[in-house]
Amino acid sequence: MKKMMTGNEAIAYGAYLNGVRIGAAYPGTPSTEIMEEFAKYEGVYAEWSPNEKVALDTGTGAAYAGARAMVSMKHVGVNVASDSLFYGVYTGLKGGLLIISADDPGMHSSQNEQDNRNYARFAKIPMLEPSDSQEAKDFVGIALEMSETFDTPVMLRTVTRIAHSSAPVEIGDETPPAAPAEPPLYDRNPQKFVMVPAYARGRHVVVEERIKKLAEYAESTPINRIEPGDDNVGIIAAGAVYQYAREVFPKATFLKLGMIYPLPEKLLRQFASQVKTVVVIEELDPFFEGQIRNMGIEVRGKDIFPIVGEFSPGLIRERSAAAGLIPASEGLAEAEAASTSTAELPIRPPMLCPGCGHRGMFHVFRESGALVLGDIGCYTLGSAPPLSAMHTTGCMGASIGVAHGIAKAGMKDRVIAVIGDSTFFHSGIHPLINVLYNQSNVTVVIADNSVTAMTGHQQHPGTGITLQEKTTNAVDLEKLVRSIGFDKVDIADPYDLDGLAEVLEDHLGSGKPSVLIVRRPCVLYTREKNEPPHVDVELCSNCGTCLDLGCSPIGQAEDHVVIDPILCNGCGLCIQVCPSEAIVR
Amino acid sequence: MKNIDILMAGVGGQGTILASNILTEVGLELKYNVKKSEVHGMAQRGGTVESHVRWGDEVHAPLIEQGYADYLIGFEMLETARWPSYIKKGAPVIINSYQIPPPSVNLGKAKYPSKEEIESILTAAGGKVIWVEGTKIAEELGNPAAAGVVLLGVVSNMLGGDEGIWQKVIQSLVPERFLELNRKAFQAGRALEVA
């Protein structure tokens, strides 16, 4: 029987069937649903860790203990976890360790489109890449076997179009292996697991020998396969891009790579000898192309296809026609389509939801005129017009450190760092300690909506609930920052604009490091909705003050504003800002 | 080999994801190979949402190619007008007569295109435009959020599959407390006479 599953659901299913007992992750698009789905299976332990590094240490520890473990994260999460990745490669493990890197070509919801295939080469670990949900499920089992056979972490790379696309998966009557009846005794082996230089030097040799053996394995694994066809053009592709290329080149010879590092050199040579022209079609970096060229095999790739942005079947068709790989006429539909202009249509950027507590906070920030150094979360949208009240965003946790550096460099501007509650637990605590330790005049605002909102409302250490819905200790933000040593700590409600403005001015004028917790739970999570106000058209002077809140239900009619009651959440901010008292409930 | 490619466009929070899940499962019931891909960007509410559903004997890519969409289903007028390049000549464009002005329009920096302008963009690309008062009908049934299912009711007449299959899938995907609403919304759409 077949069931539709997203790539993420299929990975979770594969992990369950293959006896993964421990899962750890921090939410991040497009990886989030892997751990959410895995957590639902019986007999497994799954957690939201505070960040990806903690998640990977957790997975590594579980694998040291002999359990099969899975750790999942978005591509930039691997940056956070990378220190832990590299020691695990040296020590090896006992149980299988599977690391999922969910990349985001096209940056649908990310700050960059780094190509994490490079991590496999950098860390010297094998990497697999599925091209649909069935492979996502199957490759999990292959990866875990490989991890245990070669004693190495294995990385499975997906992209948004695999993670969030649905395709049929064969559902059999497989069941997971039973967990050990009794907890085993830990196998203590310092030479393998204590990475002091004397031991690590020996382990580096193991790493180099291991990756050679994996390259041999890559020659014969069935997930790398030649699909025979017309011998004019031979295409090397993997993952989602393989599927796009199959649409455009239904009859070509393909080398379909499921194991994308290390590459199978003999198989590549055999493939190259079978076809007239070898073409690598790969999104982002010339990862295959460079390595294949280094083998001395003539290959085309980035001379035809772009290095920037997400691919699509249409893009591959157009570029292939332009390069003469397919008849020029086949590229015409695409070219004609591209000429259809929709450029004049107003764009619809992502924006804060109606009722969002961040809106009032950014309104007050804007009015304060302060410089606001931002972070990653829904509140990143506060940088967009008309709020335009955030001036940097880099990566998770960067806000506070950047604010500290700017304050130390000495600017006229008053400095606010703004960071969400979940992001604060992820990587905000260390830079906050630094603000106090090294004394910078920064007001740190924790925008507390009491959930990890942007990725779809996941729990975090402050919510008092675990991923598997168990009640637990909730870390109290106020107590935490006071325990660090901050004595100027306040809590304010962003629905009360005057109250928030007053306390913010007090902090900005205090001349010392301080913390302001701006707290309003996410209304999409609490499902709180109040009565929508309406506009008294007699009183409305059409001044546009309410429109500057950037709230989608507030729109413009001929000579006054209107509020769409279907979209409105009833937060009442517009009532507070209207100078004519024209918005009433 | 014939594929049926259905593109959906709307604004976050409008129910495009539920609608694409329904189409996916109906495709499976009709014994097609099915793939689906959706992108919901950074915003939980208020951003652009697109969803690709592909039925066929053999489906490789989860994405529809420009010029190949057999149906375009628009949950919001402006969002529908962004996709003319995907329409296959003669493809029905089922459009919800509902506007959610983007911020630039609310701020008076851009103009929301008129119904006629939107229709001409889609017609020029070869689309056969069908307007549906989806939000209005759903509102009359008690909840404007069911507008997408009204649109599906309209499309179901063109895609085939008897009503039992559609209703069975809706039952399997919609939470109990919204089931009656969505059943009625589907029937209302299916009963509409469209040119």
Residues of A in contact with B86 (CB under 8 A): 337
DSSP annotation of B10: E
- Residue from A134, A158, A161, A166 whose CB has the most chain B CBs within 10 Å, to mutate: A166
pLDDT, tens digit, 9 for 90 and up, residues B122-164: 999 999 999 999 999 999 999 999 999 999 999 999 998 899 9
Q: Does B164 touch chain A (CB under 8 A)?
A: no
A161 and B62: CB-CB below 8 Å?
yes
Residue % of chain A over a pLDDT of 90: 92
Question: Is the four-CA dihedral B88, B94, B97, B100 of positive or negative sign?
Answer: negative
> A167–B82: do the CB atoms touch at under 8 Å?
no
Chain A residue nearest residue B42, CA to CA: A109
Q: What is the mean pLDDT of residues B44-71?
A: 91
When the pLDDT of each residue in chain B is averaged and rounded to a whole number, the result is: 93
**Chain A residue closest in CA terms to B68:** A333
> In terms of Cα–Cα distance, which of A462, A457, A460 is closest to A479?
A462
pLDDT at residue A468 is higher than 70: yes
Cα gap B169→B172, rounded to integer Å: 5
Average pLDDT over residues A99-128: 97
Residue of chain B whose Cα is closest to the Cα of A382: B43
pLDDT at A251 over 60: yes
Mean pLDDT lowest among A159-168, A352-361, B46-55: B46-55
Q: Are B9 and B61 in contact (CB under 8 A)?
A: no
Q: What does the alpha-carbon distance between residue B74 and residue B152 come to, in Å, rounded to a whole number?
A: 11
Verify whether the Cβ–Cβ distance B65 to A317 is below 8 Å: yes
More confidently predicted of B92 and B46: B92
Q: What is the mean pLDDT of residues A173-178?
A: 88
**In chain B, residues 95-124 whose CB comes closer than 8 Å to chain A:** 100-108, 110-113, 121, 124
Residues of chain A with Cβ-Cβ distance to B24 below 8 Å are 4, 166
Distance CA A81, CA A109 (A): 19
Residue A372 reports pLDDT greater than 60:
yes
Residues of chain A found within 8 Å of residue B103, distances taken between Cβ atoms: 348-349, 351, 385-386, 550, 552
Rounded mean pLDDT of B33-60?
86
Are the beta carbons of A60 and A97 closer than 8 angstroms?
A: yes
One-letter amino acid of A548: D
| Amino acid B43: pLDDT | 60
Instruction: Residue A239: list chain B partners with CB under 8 A.
Output: none
pLDDT for B46 beyond 60? yes
B172 interfaces chain A, CB cutoff of 8 Å = no
Of A109, A312, A346, the CB nearest to B112: A346
**pLDDT single digits (tens) A302-342:** 999 999 999 999 999 999 999 999 998 877 665 565 556 66
- Give pLDDT, residue A576: 98
Task: Kindly tell me if the per-residue pLDDT of A444 is higher than 90.
Answer: yes
What's chain A's average pLDDT?
A: 96
C-alpha closest to that of A400 among A425, A367, A365, A364: A425
Instruction: Identify all chain A residues contacting B36, using CB atoms and an 8 Å cutoff.
Output: 4, 165-167
Alpha helices in A230-374 (DSSP H): 239-248, 265-274, 287-294, 313-322, 332-339, 357-368
Q: Does the pTM exceed 0.90?
A: yes
Q: Which pLDDT score, from 0 to 100, does residue B161 have?
A: 87
CB contact under 8 A, B105 and A556: yes
Cα end-to-end span (Å), chain A: 55
| Token pair for A368 | 């304060």
CA B19 – CA B105 distance, rounded (Å): 27
CA atoms of A463 and A48, how far apart (whole Å): 12
pLDDT tens digits, A27-41 = 999 999 999 999 999
Please provide the CATH number assigned to the domain covering B4-191: 3.40.920.10
Is pLDDT at A196 greater than 60 in this prediction? yes
Residue A324 makes CB contacts below 8 A (sequence gap 6+) with none
Average pLDDT estimate for A280-303: 98
In the beta sheet, which residues pair with residue A372? A416
Which residue in B16, B42, B52 has the most chain A C-beta atoms within 10 A of its own C-beta, making it the best mutation to test that interface? B42
Among B13, B34, B82, beta carbon nearest to A345? B82
- Look-up: residue for tokens 């793939």? B35
Which among B45, B51, B83 is the top mutation candidate for probing chain A, defined by the most A β-carbons within 10 Å of its own β-carbon? B45
Name the more confident of B193 and A101: A101
Is residue B40 predicted with pLDDT exceeding 80?
no
Query: How sure is the predictor about B31, in pLDDT bands with cuts at 50, 70 and 90?
Result: very high
Cis upstream peptide for A532 (omega within 30°): no
Question: pLDDT band for position B44 (50/70/90)?
Answer: low
Q: What is the mean pLDDT of residues A475-497?
A: 98
Buried residues in A183-217 as b, exposed as e (16+ CB within 10 A): eeeeeeeeebbebeeeeeeebeebbeebbeebbeb
pLDDT-based confidence at residue B103 (cuts at 50, 70, 90): confident
All structural domains of chain A, each given as residue ranges with its CATH number in brackets, are 2-220 (3.40.50.970), 224-336 (3.40.50.920), 357-526 (3.40.50.970), 534-584 (3.30.70.20)
Q: What is the mean predicted confidence (pLDDT) over A460-474?
A: 98
- What pLDDT is stored for residue A159 in this prediction? 98
Question: What token pair was written down for A33?
Answer: 């649903």
pLDDT reported for residue A343: 65
State the average pLDDT over residues A384-402. 96
Domain locations along chain B:
4-191
